[in-house]
Amino acid sequence: MASNVQDTTIEERQPATRIQIYPTSATGVSPFWREKYEREAKKYWDIFYKQHQDKFFKDRHYLDKEWGRYFNGTGRKIILEVGCGAGNTIFPLVATYPDSFVYACDFSPRAVNLVKTRKDFTDKRISAFVCDLTLDDLRDHIPPSSVDIVTMIFVLSAVSPEKMSLVVQNVQKVLKPKGYLLFRDYATGDLAQERLICKDQKISENFYVRGDGTRAFYFSNEFLTSLFKENGFVVEEIGVCCKQVENRSRELLMNRRWIQAVFHLSYGTNYSIDTEAAIQVKENILNEAKNDTEVDISDGVAAEMFGILPSGDNETTEINFEDFNFKIKMLSKEYQHTCKSTGLMLWESARLMASVLARNPTIVAGKRVLELGCGCVGICSMVAARFAECVIATDGDIKALDLLTQNVASNLRPPFLDKLMTMRLEWGNRDHIETIKKVNSRGFDIILGTDVTYVSEAISPLFSTAKELISTTRGSNSKDQEEPALILCHVIRRVDEPSILSTALQFGFRLVDRWPSGTSTNLSQGIINPWFPDNAFLCIPDTALNIWYFRME
């Protein structure tokens, strides 16, 4: 009775809260990563084009509709497409204006190669070359003051704000005195920016890194106007366009904002056909029903904004041990460096624990098993499903859970598939806990957790949730293996061992065995060591890995 009173007091003193096991601080990108993104910008864009080829953006057929008056007129037009990418601007222009000649440059060699390998590429109409506009002189490829029109479509946003002036100055050298620069790029307040703010991926003011390492700046009218005026341009027109785009198949509404502008050189004569003033500032508010304006939108852009991982962002990894073979889909390593959801990748603790279960099926045989924070991989749960009475694999992150469900369905077959259920569980979330209790009212004989102890704020909700869901029924004999148990496999990281063990005791969990034995204490009940009869049977991925075995008091 005293024990129950004590437990109640502790829980009142430390109420369980909903928590994610990844950090929620808003510190932005560290100086180390800022420098890395700047130094390796070309590499990240090369990887981008390797992965997406020419499928990410749609061809920009709206150019004639938006800016036709600048392309029309007598004489052959010489056009420079800055940051040509895979050619989504170039080829619609060449098709619409057959007399034009286009210079196309990008600092990604792979992007330029994509342009040159398009079936409608011809060097008689297009000159494509690699050029870093913050370093290389355009006049090495283009005669000075020879270009009629420069198009800069969703490219300046990829340049760090400190170097944007270098790009504008470089372009100025090849533009004719009466030439025009046509600009379209991301505007502040775009939904993509809001998502990046939530993901804590800010580099500097209005400048962010995406999950794939490429960067994006979001322009305001004031910033853009000032940038071009300071570098010898006059603003002819500038405006922010807004449009609500609907992806009906995914039931998503996307509020897109982009800034569109036209500039000419300050010492040139303005020969615009229909401008009423030297500067025309306009705000275009376009409804989803108005379809005369196109937006650069694709599944890839929707994924960037809504966190839906397109297939290109995932990779399939094959995991083999004992007689198990899993093909696991998870977040590509190229995207893991800024990913805050720790559940979208494979942790070595999960690989070790799954190997232990495969080698020692009696740990879970005939038992009710719950895995906490299993992420998208779920290999411990899938191994357990072969031997256990039932298994519930849980995670608090929706994206991880979606991938987990796919991985389970593609790797298990009945009857093992019928024994495994995936469910959402934020630790401390009363609704989630009660839903799991409805599925299994008797509690769980074995609760597993791999690398779920590295955030201090998560430790208390972890043990509180485990206490709620562990079985209170004792086994038929006195052996420890028959008692309900919580098994954690992890590397000690930011949370020290005494803090974890102290919190465990507060919620009634006592450490009764550990591996490797002899660390910190001489505690050993002979439970875990038999799992490793031969040290050679497993290739331990990390010598810092620990396995802890808890029982309820």
Q: Mean pLDDT by 10-residue block, N- to C-terminus, for the chain (553 residues)?
A: 38 45 58 89 85 74 84 87 90 90 93 90 92 94 95 94 96 94 92 77 90 90 95 93 66 75 74 39 41 49 43 69 86 46 67 93 96 92 96 90 90 94 94 94 96 88 96 58 88 85 96 75 69 62 78 90
Q: How far is CA 191 from CA 197, 216, 254, in A?
A: 10, 13, 7
Residue where a domain terminates, one of 253, 284, 306: 306
In a domain, 320, yes or no: no
The residue among 469, 463, 415 whose CA lies nearest residue 442 is 469
Answer for the pair 385, 409: CB distance below 8 angstroms, yes or no.
no
Residue where a domain terminates, one of 274, 306, 338: 306
The verdict on 194 and 245 lying in the same domain is yes
The verdict on 51 and 135 lying in the same domain is yes
Angle between helices 31-39 and 41-52 (to 10 degrees): 70
Q: DSSP state, 162?
A: G
The continuous run of DSSP H or E covering 39 comes out as helix 31-39
Answer for the pair 368, 390: CB distance below 8 angstroms, yes or no.
yes
The verdict on 383 and 292 lying in the same domain is no
Q: DSSP state, 473?
A: P
- Provide the pairing of β-strand 368-372 with 446-450: parallel
Strands of 202-204's sheet in order across: 202-204, 207-209, 215-217
What pLDDT sits at residue 472? 85
What is the residue type of 308?
A: I
Domain that holds residue 40: 31-306
CA distance 311 to 314: 5
CA distance 310 to 300: 6
CA angle 157, 160, 164 (to 5 degrees): 75
- Residue 415: asked if its preceding bond is cis (omega within 30°), the reply is yes
The verdict on 426 and 357 lying in the same domain is yes
b/e sequence 440-451, b meaning 16+ C-beta within 10 Å: beebbbbbbbbb
The continuous run of DSSP H or E covering 184 comes out as strand 175-186
The verdict on 352 and 301 lying in the same domain is no
In a domain, 17, yes or no: no
In a domain, 9, yes or no: no
Torsional sign, CA 30, 195, 239, 292 = positive
Q: DSSP state, 534?
A: -
What pLDDT sits at residue 474? 64
What pLDDT sits at residue 247? 57
The verdict on 360 and 290 lying in the same domain is no
In a domain, 48, yes or no: yes
CA distance 70 to 78: 12
What pLDDT sits at residue 61? 78
In a domain, 386, yes or no: yes
Residue where a domain terminates, one of 250, 284, 306: 306
Q: How far is CA 85 from CA 32, 91, 286, 290, 412, in A?
A: 27, 11, 27, 28, 41
The verdict on 394 and 500 lying in the same domain is yes
The residue among 548, 447, 529 whose CA lies nearest residue 489 is 548
DSSP secondary structure of 294-359: -----HHHHHHHH----GGGEEEEEEEETTEEEEEEEE-GGGTTS---GGGS--HHHHHHHHHHHH
Answer for the pair 133, 82: CB distance below 8 angstroms, yes or no.
yes
Number of folded domains that form the chain:
2
The residue among 213, 208, 212 whose CA lies nearest residue 192 is 208
CA distance 297 to 306: 13
In a domain, 4, yes or no: no
Residue for token pair 């090849």: 174
Q: Which residues contact 4 (CB under 8 A, 6 or more apart)?
A: none
In a domain, 330, yes or no: no
The verdict on 291 and 414 lying in the same domain is no
The verdict on 293 and 431 lying in the same domain is no
Q: Is 519 helix (H, G, I), strand (E, B) or coil?
A: coil
Token pair, residue 266, equals 């300050």
Token pair, residue 178, equals 């009466």
Q: Return the CATH number at 90.
A: 3.40.50.150
The verdict on 469 and 383 lying in the same domain is yes
The verdict on 115 and 231 lying in the same domain is yes
CA distance 381 to 417: 11
In a domain, 453, yes or no: yes
Residue for token pair 């004792």: 474
The residue among 338, 336, 347, 340 whose CA lies nearest residue 313 is 336
Q: Which residues contact 178 (CB under 8 A, 6 or more apart)?
A: 264, 265, 268, 269, 271
Answer for the pair 154, 192: CB distance below 8 angstroms, yes or no.
no
The verdict on 299 and 388 lying in the same domain is no
Answer for the pair 18, 428: CB distance below 8 angstroms, yes or no.
yes
CA distance 301 to 299: 5
Q: pTM of the prediction? A: 0.52
